[in-house]
Every structure is written in C-alpha cells, then in structure tokens.
Amino acid sequence: MIDGLGAVQNILLVGGTSEIGLSIVDSIFEKHRGKHLVVTVKSNSDIERVQNEMGRRFNGVTVEVVVMNMLSSGSLAATTGNIFGKSQIDVVILAAGVLPPAELSFTNPQIAVDSSKINFLGPIEIGTEAIQQFRKQGHGRLVVISSVAGERPRKDNYVYGAAKAGLDAWAYGLADSVHGLPIRVLVVRPGMVRTKMSAGLPEAPFTCDPDVVGRAVLKRLNKGPALIWVPGKLRIVMSVLRHLPRFVFRRLSRGVNTQNTPLA
Amino acid sequence: MSVEVLGGWGGTPVCLTEIHEIKTQLPVDAQAKSQSIIARGLGRGYGDCAINGFGITANCQSINQFTMADGVLDAEAGASIDEILRVVVPRGYFIPVTPGTKFVTIGGAIAADVHGKNHHKDGSFGNFVIELDLLIADGTTHKIGPSINPKLFWATIGGMGLTGVILRAKIQLTPIETSKILSTNVICSNLEVLMDEMIRADEFARYSVAWVDTLAGGKHLGRSILSIGDHATEVDLNLRLRKTPLKYSSKQLITFPGIPINGLLNRFTVRVFNGLWFQKARLSKKKKTISLDSFFYPLDGIGNWNKMYGRDGFIQYQISIPDNSAHLIRLILEKFSEQRIPSFLSVLKRFGPQGDGMLSFPSKGWTLAVDIPAGVEGLGELLDELDEKVVEAGGRIYFAKDSRMNSRYVKEMYPLIDEFRDVKRTVDVHNVFQSNLSRRLGL
C-alpha cells in the first residue's frame, strides 16, 4: 500500500543478491515503514542462506525468498503473478544482472545468449507482468536497473551493453506509456558501481558505491524525472561521449578484459 | 464501468480503480467474484477512505432523491447536504450536524460520523440518524437503527463504509426560524486566551470554532479568531431581512481550475493570506448576522480549492485529544510553527462526549485540524513523532482525513476495533467491503 506521503510498504526485489538492489531496499525501508519484502534467488540451494541474510538485514520486515531463474523464461511471469497474488507489491526492483567475462561473451554463443536472458529478456518478462499487476492493484513503482553501458556500446562490454540498451529502451518507452497513472517506471542508469560484479575491473571515472544508487532512487520514487543517472554528473559526461567520433571513442574504451570473472 | 485514476480530496494518494454506479444492488456479485467494493460519495474524504485500488469504487451520486416531512429527512445516500439545504432551509429546517463543507453526501456523513461546530452541544451526525438502509455483502438490504440491530448500526456509524453500502437514511432535522446565524468573532492573541475562551464558550455557544494561524510563533503562538454563533431568531433580523427570514441562496464566488497549480502555496503566500484573514476579522463588526454559508462553509465559496496545493496534494492532520492533555495542542502548534509548515488557518474545536459509533472519531476534549502540503520535507517523520504523543495521551486520528498513520496505533486509538471487526465478520464474511484505508490500516 502506498500512503498519502508516498511511503511504500511492500517490495519485490528481483535479484536478491544484487548489491544495488539491496541498497535501494535499504534506502526505502530506512525512510518508509516497510512491511514485507520478497527477494528472488537463482536456485533452491540459495533460499536458506538468503533468507537468513535478509532477516538480519531488514529487521521488522517479513521476508520471503522465491526462486526465479532468469534462464527459465516463460515461467517468470507466472511466478511474478503468484507473488502479487499473495500480497500487494508497491515496488518492484529489477536488479538481476550479470556481467559475463568479456572474452567468453564475445566468443561463446551460449554465454552471449544466456547473459542476455538474465540482463534483458528475464527482466522484461517480469516487468511486463508487474505492470499488469500494478494496473490491477491500482498503483506501483517499477525500478529498472539499466546501465550507462547501454548508452554507447564499447568494444569491451558490447554484449552486456546491448542487453542493457534493450532493457533501457523497453523501460523508457514503458515509463511514457504509464504517464498520468499512479504507476511509475524508473530507469536507473548507474555508471560503474563498486560491487561483486565489477570487482577486479579497473575502476572507471565516477565510480560510486551502491548506497548512492539507493539514495538516488529513493529521492525519485514518487516524483521527478523517470530517468536517473547515478551519479548525476554522468548525464553530462555521457551526452558528450555519445557524440564523440568513433575513432576517438574506440581509443577511450578499455582493452578487452581477459580476466575470467565467473558468471555471477 | 470505467477505470479511472482516483484519489481523495487531498489528491494523495491516488490509484487506479474500477468505478461502477450503484443504485439498489451491488455492482457485481462481489462475493462470488471475490472482488472488493467501497462506496464513494462526493470524494471529500481527504485520504484513501473512498478509493479502492484493488477493486471497485461504487459511486453513489446518482442515488440522490430525498423528501422531508415533519422535520424528518428521508434521503438516499448520495444526496448532498448542499442539495438538501436548498430545499429544507426555506421550509425552516437545518441539517443537525454539518462538517465544514456542504459538499458531502448523507452516506458519507454517516460513514465518517461527521462532526460540526456544535459537537460539544449536540454530538456527531450519528446521533440524528433515525434509521438507515444498509446493503450488505450477500446482496440483501437491511433496515437498521439505534433500536433495530443496534450492533450493526453502531458499527456502520463511523464505520467508513466497511459494513456495507448505505442506501437511504432518515435524519432528524433541526428547526430554524431564519436562514441567518448570529455570529460573534473573538480575536485571541495567543493559545492560552483562546483555550480559556473556548472552554467558557462550551457553556453558552451552540456553535464554536477557532481558526488558528499556524505560522505564528513565540508569544503569538495560537493567534486565532474564535467564531461563535447560533441560529438567529426572527427578532434578531433587521426589517429588510425579516420579510424573507428563510431565504437561502448559495453560490460559489470563484472556481479554481480543475488542474493543480504548483508553487502557489508557500510560507510567504500563506503568511500573507493568514494576515489578511486576521485583518478582515479585526476590521469587521464583532457581532453580526451572517448567512449560513458564510458561517459554516467559508471555503465552499472557492470551487476546487484543494487544487491550490499543487500536484503533490495535501493531507489534513486531524487529531482529538482529551482535556487533560490539552498541552499537546501547544506542543503540536509549536512544532508546526518551528518547522514553518505553510498551513492555511488551522481549525481548533471542542468535542463533547463520545457517541456510540464503534469507530467514531469525536471524543471528549479538543480537536485540531491542520492542512499540510504533502511535499513538505520530513513531514512523515514529524507526524509520526506527533502521533506517538497523541496515542500516549489517549487521543486519536480521524480516519476520514488520514492517509499516512501507522497501522499499529489503530487498537490504541480505537479501543472498540475488535468489536467492530466482529460485527463486520458476521455481515461480511468474505471481506468484500474494503478501501485503501482499510487495507493500509488493517481495519
């Protein structure tokens, strides 16, 4: 239920181990009277561990852990529907994502496809169902974690970038389609964020911590532009980068990262 | 049926809801379809009491026929006080209890058990309901009253529409000799003076209300205009008015555009407005004969005034506090003044003894109502802090105004809630009647 001051009670976090996602939940529950949190995990074996972790992290909130494997497309919408069937969900955060080892994603078709399912197809399946559920319950907030990587593809992360570009375009159009309704879609475009996913990669300029993303989302949960750059300065940086001639941009991009970071 | 974005008078929160017209039956077989329903009148409830995001909002405005005989009004639930006054005042009657707007329906007035400036003398609206027709979840209609099925009746009075849909009611009207009010304004320089005056006025004044300047602080804290009045008798009128003592006309002076305008309300404009209001009171005659509308419904003269608060909307914080905790009024006004919350004149009133409605708001003591723009930074935390004190003092928040209180205070604020729930369970087994308010607070 969303109250007169825009406070929310129930959140569904898709990608229950996402540090960005969790920091968004942190920020919201710090300010609002949280009641219920549903987080999704990849497999049954994660349930207990995550349940314990969440219980510790979010005191006074009931936590439910649900299995949602982004690779099993077709079942994601149904699982989402079930979650809404049990309780109203005010905020859905689409934070599941994976940054595949660059080399592998460029050479191994299966990894290119699977990572795109996690980064693009899975979220839009869940997001599409969530919006239908929002219409039914009368209100809702969908937070979509995009990335600056989708803004202009780079030679070192174009598979990830392409999926995020697709997700971003989907969410951006969706945000306009629900304009004027008590439903809001937030497109969050963070730069590099210090998380497990980016660990081991050289730090890019304007790298920030997950809590910066959390606070930025909280601020825009109910009003303001639907597109959020984190940190805000990236909006200007990217509007310059977007228009650089290709030969300059190519040189600015880092070389291919050959470190074999495992599929998160 | 249509799906629309709907909110309360404060414009926040809003939700998408299915709107159905209601006549004599439920819009759908809600029990079979497990769909929820809440009745809605003119939408003057400030918060989320008459919206139902998860189901149907049943519009009652098209059932608005009424008749009057021997001072008893027999009205369909969608009839508004405005429509009723136009007919009954010229015939020498007035509505026994009226809220600060006449744009409320009879159904809404019963469901919120509204109070007026005469609560200390006459109690709340429910006291004047002789009987009513309630359409319950199984689709049947029941006549209930203080002596016919009293439990269901007193659960329905102030029950926020959660026992069923009120279709019709008989109301005892108040006879009047004229359509004028003999009113006296007392300008009070601070809260002490005001509260003393108000307690004194309990004895002799039929109607009393104070408009408080919430922005005034320090030694002017609680600066206010106390307005006291009673229905004028024929001898009170001058010769010109005496020719048509019951003449009643009511019109809106101006109407705000239907869309919210941002940035109109800020500390500066509110200060100017409040200042002008006081100046007007200082300059005008202290004792005068005024129309019913200017005494009871000053804000109704401005159509859509709620849009003034901009897109974020506003909330009304209305609390009641027992006499022995009157100091809380000071504390609350101090907080608002410190935080320089731009609030138009707030309202302080006296309450008489509590009525029999299980979830009725008024209880002996004081009530303070403050309009606050919803976008004010830190408002949630501030009000949460105040709520805690209100609960400790044995006070409560008015459901018809609320859109943000913490559900854990419900039991302390409304000790009869369990009794209410028992009654609701017997007539609404499948919990068909729900609103955003009822789900938010678990009523």
Residues 305-324 of B with CB under 8 A from A: 311-313, 315
Q: For A6, which residue in chain B has the nearest alpha carbon?
A: B13
Catalytic residue of the set A120, A160, A170, A229 = A160
User: What stretches of chain A show up as alpha helix (H) in DSSP?
Assistant: 19-31, 47-57, 76-86, 102-107, 109-116, 122-137, 158-177, 210-220, 234-241, 246-252
A60 has a chain B CB within 8 A of its CB: no
Angstrom distance (rounded) from CA B84 to CA B321: 32
Position of tokens 């439903």?
Answer: A183
A6 reaches B (C-beta below 8 A): yes
Beta carbons of A138 and B54 less than 8 Å apart: yes
Mean pLDDT over residues B358-369, rounded? Answer: 98
Check if A172 is active-site.
no
CB-based contact (8 Å) between A139 and chain B?
yes
| Fold of the CATH domain B180-406 | Vanillyl-alcohol Oxidase; Chain A, domain 3 (3.40.462)
Kindly tell me if the per-residue pLDDT of B402 is higher than 80.
yes
Looking up residue A206, the CATH number of its domain turns out to be 3.40.50.720
> Best mutation site among B2, B4, B9, B14 for testing chain A: the one with the most A CBs within 10 Å?
B14
In a domain, A96, yes or no: yes
Residue B380 and residue A31: Cβ atoms within 8 Å?
Answer: yes
For residue A155, tell me if it sits in a domain. Answer: yes
The rounded distance, in Å, linking the Cα atoms of A115 and B7 is 42
CA A4 to chain centre: 27
**Whether pLDDT at B297 is above 60:** yes
A136 touching B, CB under 8 A? yes
Decide if B380 and A5 are in contact by the 8 Å CB cutoff: yes
pLDDT digits (tens, 9 = 90+) for B374-383: 989 899 999 9
pLDDT of A255 reads 52
Q: How many CB pairs under 8 A join A and B?
A: 68
pTM: 0.94
- The average confidence (pLDDT) of chain B is 94
Q: How far is B4 from chain A (nearest CA, A)?
A: 9
Q: What does the DSSP 8-state code read for residue B369?
A: E
Mean pLDDT, rounded, for B220-227:
94
Nearest to B45 by CA among B91, B105, B133: B105
> Looking at residue A257, what is its pLDDT?
45
Q: How far A148 CA lies from chain B's nearest CA (Å)?
A: 30
Number of neighbours of residue A187 by Cβ within 10 angstroms: 24
Quick one: pLDDT at residue A251? Answer: 84
Q: Which helix (H) or strand (E) holds B410?
A: helix B410-413
Q: Where are the domains of chain B?
A: 180-406
Q: Does A219 touch chain B (CB under 8 A)?
A: no
So what's the pLDDT on residue B258?
A: 75
Instruction: State how far residue B142 is from chain A, nearest Cα, in angstroms.
Output: 31
> Between β-strands B254-255 and B302-303, what pairing exists: parallel, antiparallel or unpaired?
parallel
Q: Which of A4, A33, A182 sits opposite B315 (nearest CB)?
A: A4
The pLDDT value given to residue A263 = 41
Q: What is the mean pLDDT of residues B91-120?
A: 97
- Residue A135: its chain B contacts at CB < 8 A? 16
Q: Across the interface, which of A5, A33, A135 has its CB nearest the CB of B16?
A: A135
A260 lies in a domain?
no
- Look up the domain containing A103 and give its range: 10-252
What is chain A's pLDDT, residue by residue, as a tens digit (264 residues)? 899 999 999 999 999 999 999 999 999 999 999 999 999 999 999 999 999 999 999 989 999 999 999 999 899 999 999 999 999 999 999 999 999 988 899 999 999 999 999 999 999 999 999 999 999 999 999 999 999 999 988 888 999 999 999 999 999 999 999 999 999 999 999 999 999 988 888 898 899 999 999 999 999 999 999 999 999 999 999 999 999 998 888 887 765 444 444 443
More confident residue, B430 or B1: B430
B16 CB neighbours in chain A (<8 A) are: 135, 138-139, 181-183
Distance of residue A88 Cα from the nearest chain B Cα, in angstroms? 9
Please report the pLDDT score of residue B255 as a whole number.
Answer: 82
What end-to-end distance do the CA atoms of chain B give, in Å? Answer: 27
User: What residue type is assigned to position B286 of the chain?
Assistant: K
Specify the number of domains making up chain A.
1
Least confident piece of the model among B2-11, B29-38, B112-121, B249-258: B249-258
pLDDT band at B117 (very low <50, low <70, confident <90, very high): very high
Residues B196, B202, B203, B207: what is their CA dihedral angle, to the nearest 10 degrees?
130
Could you tell me which residues come within 8 angstroms of residue B81 by beta carbon, excluding any fewer than 6 positions away?
B95, B98, B102, B103, B104, B105, B106, B109
Q: A122-137 vs A76-86: helix axis angle to the nearest 10?
A: 30
